[in-house]
Chain A
Amino acid sequence: MTGWRLKLVFFVGLLLLWEALVRLQLWPSYVFPSPLAVGRSLVAGIANGFIPLAVLTSLRRILLAYALSLLIGIPLGLLLGRTRLLQETLGTLVLGLQALPSICWLPLALLWFGLSETAIGFVVVMGAVLSITVSTADGVRNTPPLYLRAARTMGARGWRLYTGVILPSALPAILSGMKLGWSFAWRSLMAAELLYVSLGLGQVLTLGRELNDMARVLAVMLVIVAIGLLTDFAFFRPAERRVRQRWGLHGNT
């Protein structure tokens, strides 16, 4: 059996196992709902509009914060990768901050920005921007010296050297930083929304817990997984494949 068929069999089997466990009635249904109940809750949630609303709210937040993270992270990484002084100082700080889960910024963010969109945005940016910066700086620093020498001997320097050689050479690293940044942003957003009530998918999860509606919780979790997979398949994978093809990097794609 190949590829998608193997996957199909595996997941259908998993659903059947789930249903069988529910039928055994080991746990009450509000603790361990059946796949059918989750499906029903999902359809109902989409039909009455609260899931689409939550999805839109969360997506708007993440897109805004992610765009901001790219705007800060990539230029900062480009700067760090080429400037030894900045690398030694600011670069060390960035590396240190990366060890901090971004949700730890929430108390400070609430204090600084109040119960606002800005507070959530801040947490998400702090989650995404560091990994984008670090990957970009690594990519810039790993520009093969031979490329630089070849470009310089052909008379490229300054801005031309940067945009013509260093940036494209760092592109695979920048892309993997963007991918990592997106997944950090998504995690940070969910954590922030769970802790701090305010529309969005995270809040629907909290609401489900408070109402003892585990079918709804699981339905929303499925939606979160779907969004994560969708962005990966719709954007990051095609982009990575194109870069790998062009750069002649063959391997596990």
Chain B
Amino acid sequence: MTTAPPASPWKLDLRGVCKTFRASHGEFRALQDLDFHAAAGEFVCLLGPSGCGKTTALNIIAGLEQADRGDVLIDGRPVAGPGPDRVVIFQEAALFPWLTVRDNVAFGLAAHGMPRAKRHRLAEAQLEMVNLGDFAAASVHELSGGMKQRVALARALALNPEILLMDEPFAALDALAREALHLELQTLWSATGKTIVFVTHNVREALVLGDRVLVLSASPGRIKSEFRCDLPRPRSMESHSLVDMAQAILSDLRSEVQAAQEDVRRDRLAP
């Protein structure tokens, strides 16, 4: 960043973000001029095929990776590394098995030096919010996949971040658990007013959760199209209007997947 970025009216603002990885077979352009923003309290879904750089984008916002070029602004200020104002929820819950459920939720608070009694009280309150109040003393391996993700959600919310970054958090769950978590997440979001960036490859999941759905193109990743979803909440994956919208986006996405496959074929033919 050589020049000061212009002021941004958005909670989260990405401008011209580029990221290239060096792989064994050469360079891989993960992101090319990625531009998008999220208003405070907005629920934005990043939708795209596997390998389109969604996770890279999220890692850059989180500060876990650095962009080669471009600006990532939070409230107009550039991101300088990981911080508790932006917490990531991963596809695997990434809970620590040596801690109880309560201590897992309290982990981030402990890292910021909160006294034990206070952080336990806060952790238990968060667990109540995700309906796991009875599991505070349980071990992580006693929980189901869906419960683990709810603990991960509680752990992130305990830090009271302004932005939640969610990286396909429900992709490994069965349909019923996922549906329950969709409802719970919508409720939590309305109650807390967090800004959420949610990465998924599932069109209907994106439409159930998001105010806006941004479709990413594959290699290099950039915003290809944008859909606004104003259906009343809480939404269900099965509602007709949602399924109709999903069809429209899917055909858009399909051309993208084809393009990506063409790319792969071309690479194979002319290495």
Contacts and interface: CB of A to CB of B under 8 A. Distances in A.
Nearest to A153: B88
Contact of A248 (B83, B94, B139, B156): B139
B78 interface: no
Contacts of A160: 110-111
B98 A153 contact: no
Contacts of B141: 247-248
A154 B88 CA distance: 8
A149 B159 contact: no
Interface string A129-171: 0000000000000000011011111111000100011001101
B97 A153 contact: no
Nearest to A146: B94
A246 interface: yes
B96 interface: yes
**Interface range for B:** 20 to 34
Chain A contact residues: helix, strand, loop or mixed: helix
B62 interface: yes
A8 B124 CA distance: 51
B64 interface: yes
A154 B111 contact: yes
B87 interface: yes
Contact of A149 (B64, B98, B156): B64
Contact of A147 (B94, B108, B112): B94
Nearest to B62: A153
3 nearest A-B pairs in the assembled complex, by CB-CB distance: A248-B141, A154-B108, A150-B94
12 contacts: A146-B94, A151-B107, A153-B62, A153-B63, A153-B88, A154-B84, A155-B84, A155-B108, A155-B111, A168-B99, A248-B139, A248-B142
Given A150-B94, A153-B82, 13 more contacts: A147-B96, A149-B90, A153-B63, A153-B87, A154-B155, A154-B156, A155-B83, A155-B111, A156-B107, A171-B98, A246-B97, A246-B139, A247-B97
Interface of B: 62-64, 82-84, 86-88, 90, 92, 94, 96-99, 107-108, 110-112, 139-142, 155-156, 159, 165
